[in-house]
Structure 1
Amino acid sequence: MTFLDLARKNAWRMPLRTVLLMVSIAVAFLIYGLTASFINGAQGAAGASDDLLGVTSAGGRTQPLPMAAKSRIAADPGVAVVGYVKRLRGFVDVERNVVAISAADPDLLMTVNGKELGLTPALVGAIGQSHDKVLVGRALAEAQGWTVGQRVTVTAFDTPREDGGRDWRFEIAGIFEGESAATDSYFMIARYGYVNAARARAKDTVDAFVVRPRAGVSPGELAARIDTLFANSATPTRTQSEKQFLEAFLRQYADIELIVNLVVGAAFVTLLMIVVNIMVFAVRERTFEIGLLKTLGFSRLRILALILGETLFVFAVGGGIGLALAKLATVAAGPVLGLVFSAAVLAKAIAIITVLGLASGALPAFNAMRTPIIKAFRTR
């Protein structure tokens, strides 16, 4: 019998207790896997860029910037290309079915962040065939059940048309995938010229400029220069990387990552206390056997390793089941919920399993290691 076999058989001495313990561990790591995947996807940790810069009004995202600012930004020698976007929010059919539209120049969008969005020349060409054609992100298309060629009507919340109506009608010309599963694709891309010409107010303005720095140029330094350029103008700006923008957007409501970490941390601490308590009693039940193993020549370190191996086995099986269920849940949910179970999430989970396994077995293993053989035999 190998050392691993002995640890495994010790773990299964009380099958019901072991199964319940593994179920508790599996539930804890299922919760961790889902929450970590949510944070990973929502904050764009796997998909947001640290290099791509967004220039918005210092007064808030709802304050527009004049299109004339584009040429001033482009004049900076550190700027490779400047795009722009006008955001339009509305609903389809019912008010709670909210969708977002980014009105932009397709060619500039392709140059600035076409790679991140998964745009291709064919998609850009398709949207250019008619003024009312749009591209739809894969996540939005799957959520709404839309297909290429379908016509959709979006009722805008705050962007009325010149004719007084709020209904914007589009034809779906294509579906973009996004560079990875972490890329936000729950929106539509429309032509800026069409939206700008048809809207009733704030013509020739944008909500943000998108800046791609030249190779070798520090995004942070370029952002500071852009904000300095408009510091004393009528429209001061705030320039951030894409990742910073997403994180700041979420913090408007709460520090979601901190809240999630506190909740998951409390769950793990509770789990650790439960497992330590169970393992202390489990090892105490085997005091006589531990004394016998020492008599047969098992060293104190081997006794220590045996009990730690037992707790690691329980955590590995339970944690593995929980993480597998979390991965299946993210796959089943698809990109709609923005859950991204990345390699970083898995690596962190494995590290937590190892730490909890060692920590929960440390106290009972230390007690077993120190128990004298004579005292162990007296428990019989």
Structure 2
Amino acid sequence: MTFFALARKNAWRKPLRTVLLMVSIAVAFLIYGLTASFLNGAQGTAGASDDILGVTSAGGRTQPLPMAMMARIAADPDVAAVGYVMRLRGFVDVEKNVVAISAGDPDRLLAVNGKGLGLTPALVEAIGQARDKVLVGRALAEAQGWRVGERVTVTAFDMARADGGREWRFEIAGIFEGEDATTDTYFMIARYDYVNAARARGKDTVDAFIVRPHAGVAPGELAVRIDTLFANSATPTRTQSEKQFLEAFLRQYADTGLIVNLVVGAAFVTLLMIVVNTMVFAVRERTFEIGVLKTLGFSRRGIMALILGETLFVFAVGGGLGLVLAKLATLLAGPALGLVLSLPVLAKALAILAALGLATGALPAFNAMRTPIIKAFRTR
């Protein structure tokens, strides 16, 4: 009998107990997989760029910036391209069905971050055919069941039209895919000229400018230079990378990283206590058998490795099942909820799995290793 086969048979000595342990481990790693996936992909932070800069008002996201500022930003020799965006939030059919719209110049968006968003010249040409055309992200299109050519009506929460209404009607001209699975595509891209001409107030203002530096230019230095440019103006700015901006936006509501760490930490501490207690009793039941193994020539290290192999086997099966369930959940609900179970998250999960397996098996393995043969035989 091989070492692995012996460890596996010991783990299945009492099937019900082993199954319950594996279920507990699977639930803990399912929680970890979902929370880490949310933190990794929430609002597109997993696919956010450290190079693309966002210029917003120093007074907050709700303070608009005049369009005239774009010329001064573009005049900087280290700026490769400048775009702008105005955000419109509303709902389709029912208030719970919230959608976000980013209105801008499609050609400028293509130049600034076309690769990241998955924009192509064909998509830009399609949206340019009429002012009410929009591009819809793949995640939003799949969640809503929308198709190219379909007309949608978005009822804005806080942006009224010049005619007093809040209903904005668009026609879907195309669907953009995003650069990869981590890119946030749960929104629409509309034409700024259409929204700006029809809105009741705030004309010729934007919520943010998007800046792409030239290759080799440090984004942080350019950000400081842009903010210095408008420091003494009526509209001082705050320039951040796309990733910093999105992380700051999430922290406005809660420190999601801290929440995730607390939830995962509580789950793993509870799991550690349950499995350690169970394994100590499981090994104590086999004290006589451990004495027999030592009599047959098993070394102290061999006994310790056998117990650790047993706990690692239980964790591997239970943790693997939990991560598989988390992956299935992200595939089913990920596009709408921003869940991204990336390779770094999986690698960290495997490291945690191995660490917990060794930690839970250390105490019972140490006790088994130190048990004298005579004392082990006296248990019968």
TM-score (norm 2): 0.98
Structure 1 residue aligned with 2:118: 118
Residues 258 and 29 from structure 1, CA distance in 2 versus in 1: closer, same or farther, beyond 3 angstroms?
same
| Aligned residue identity for 1:89 | R
Q: Distance in 2 between matches of 1:165 and 1:379?
A: 84
User: Number of paired residues?
Assistant: 380
Structure 2 residue aligned with 1:97: 97
Q: Distance in 1 between matches of 2:350 and 2:181?
A: 22
Does residue 1:183 correspond to 2:165, yes or no?
no
Identity over aligned residues, as a percent?
A: 85
| Aligned residue identity for 1:358 | L
Q: Distance in 2 between matches of 1:324 and 1:140?
A: 25
Between 1:158-167 and 1:221-230, the stretch displaced more is: 158-167
Residues 298 and 281 from structure 1, CA distance in 2 versus in 1: closer, same or farther, beyond 3 angstroms?
same
Structure 2 residue aligned with 1:148: 148
User: Secondary structure of 2:83's match?
Assistant: strand
| Aligned residue identity for 1:124 | V
Q: Distance in 1 between matches of 2:334 and 2:372?
A: 57
Q: Post-superposition shift, 1:45?
A: 4.3
Q: Distance in 1 between matches of 2:202 and 2:44?
A: 30
Q: Distance in 2 between matches of 1:5 and 1:86?
A: 62
Q: Distance in 1 between matches of 2:116 and 2:16?
A: 50
Does residue 1:332 correspond to 2:332, yes or no?
yes
Q: Distance in 2 between matches of 1:183 and 1:83?
A: 19
| Aligned residue identity for 1:161 | R
Q: Distance in 2 between matches of 1:177 and 1:322?
A: 29
Q: Distance in 2 between matches of 1:296 and 1:45?
A: 57
Cα-to-partner distance string for 1:93-152 (whole Å, 9 max, x where unaligned): 222222111111110000101111111111100000111111011111122221111111
Q: Distance in 1 between matches of 2:96 and 2:354?
A: 44
Structure 2 residue aligned with 1:81: 81
Between 1:177-186 and 1:58-67, the stretch displaced more is: 177-186
* Aligned positions of 1:34-45 closer than 5 A: 34-42=34-42, 44-45=44-45
Q: Distance in 1 between matches of 2:5 and 2:18?
A: 16
Does residue 1:203 correspond to 2:203, yes or no?
yes
Q: Post-superposition shift, 1:165?
A: 2.0
* Aligned positions of 1:119-268 closer than 5 A: 119-268=119-268
Structure 1 residue aligned with 2:295: 295
Q: Post-superposition shift, 1:260?
A: 1.5
User: Secondary structure of 1:85's match?
Assistant: strand
Cα-to-partner distance string for 1:33-57 (whole Å, 9 max, x where unaligned): 1111111110534301111100000
User: Secondary structure of 1:170's match?
Assistant: strand
Q: Distance in 2 between matches of 1:60 and 1:260?
A: 26
| Aligned residue identity for 1:197 | A
| Aligned residue identity for 1:226 | I
Q: Distance in 1 between matches of 2:193 and 2:73?
A: 20
Conserved in 2, the CA contact under 8 Å of 1:153 and 1:169?
Answer: yes
| Aligned residue identity for 1:277 | N
Structure 2 residue aligned with 1:323: 323
Q: Distance in 2 between matches of 1:273 and 1:20?
A: 14
Structure 2 residue aligned with 1:27: 27
Q: Distance in 2 between matches of 1:116 and 1:63?
A: 26
Consecutive unaligned residues in structure 1, runs of 5 or more? none
Cα-to-partner distance string for 1:40-91 (whole Å, 9 max, x where unaligned): 1105343011111000000111111011110111111211111001111122
| Aligned residue identity for 1:72 | R
Q: Distance in 2 between matches of 1:116 and 1:101?
A: 17
* Aligned positions of 1:304-319 closer than 5 A: 304-319=304-319
Conserved in 1, the CA contact under 8 Å of 2:132 and 2:170?
Answer: yes
Conserved in 2, the CA contact under 8 Å of 1:92 and 1:99?
Answer: yes
Between 1:152-161 and 1:238-247, the stretch displaced more is: 152-161
Q: Distance in 1 between matches of 2:322 and 2:59?
A: 45
Conserved in 2, the CA contact under 8 Å of 1:43 and 1:243?
Answer: no
Q: Distance in 2 between matches of 1:162 and 1:272?
A: 61
Cα-to-partner distance string for 1:188-218 (whole Å, 9 max, x where unaligned): 1111111112222111111100000111111
Q: Distance in 2 between matches of 1:334 and 1:254?
A: 21
Structure 2 residue aligned with 1:4: 4
Structure 1 residue aligned with 2:275: 275
Q: Distance in 2 between matches of 1:333 and 1:318?
A: 22
Residues 95 and 314 from structure 1, CA distance in 2 versus in 1: closer, same or farther, beyond 3 angstroms?
same
Q: Post-superposition shift, 1:334?
A: 4.2
Consecutive unaligned residues in structure 2, runs of 5 or more? none
Cα-to-partner distance string for 1:217-248 (whole Å, 9 max, x where unaligned): 11111111111110000000000111111111
Does residue 1:61 correspond to 2:61, yes or no?
yes
| Aligned residue identity for 1:323 | L
